[in-house]
Amino acid sequence: MEIIIGTIPPLKAQEQKLPSKGSPAIDAELLHVRPPRKGTAGPSGIERRNKQASDPRIGRVLTIMVPDARLLPSDIDTAKYDVSIRFIRR
């Protein structure tokens, strides 16, 4: 009988594959549609938001939910990505 005391070697971290440019579309659900932001001046007339942002007047803000977040890039919060959407009527 052989007794070995110690630990197993650490497992290699699996690399998360980023969707390639030619990857299939990711299904998402449209949760909410709202008009663009308007200025939010406080009582003093000064803009309350720290970030100077202006939405286009003819734009719409869409809130979407992706059911499987593993399909999204891991750095989606920090990197800039181009997003294309296609609407399919149910």
For 23-44, the pLDDT digits (tens) are 678 889 999 999 887 766 667 7
Which residue do the tokens 């286009």 mark? Answer: 56
Confidence label for 82 from pLDDT (cuts 50, 70 and 90): confident
CA dist., res. 35 & res. 59, Å (int): 7
Residue 30, H or E segment? strand 29-34
The per-residue pLDDT for 81 is 81
CA dist., res. 84 & res. 25, Å (int): 9
Please state the domain extents for the chain: 25-36+55-68
Torsion of CA 71, 81, 18, 13, to 10 degrees: -100
The per-residue pLDDT for 52 is 65
pTM of model > 0.75: no
Asked whether the predicted pLDDT for residue 19 surpasses 60, the reply is: no
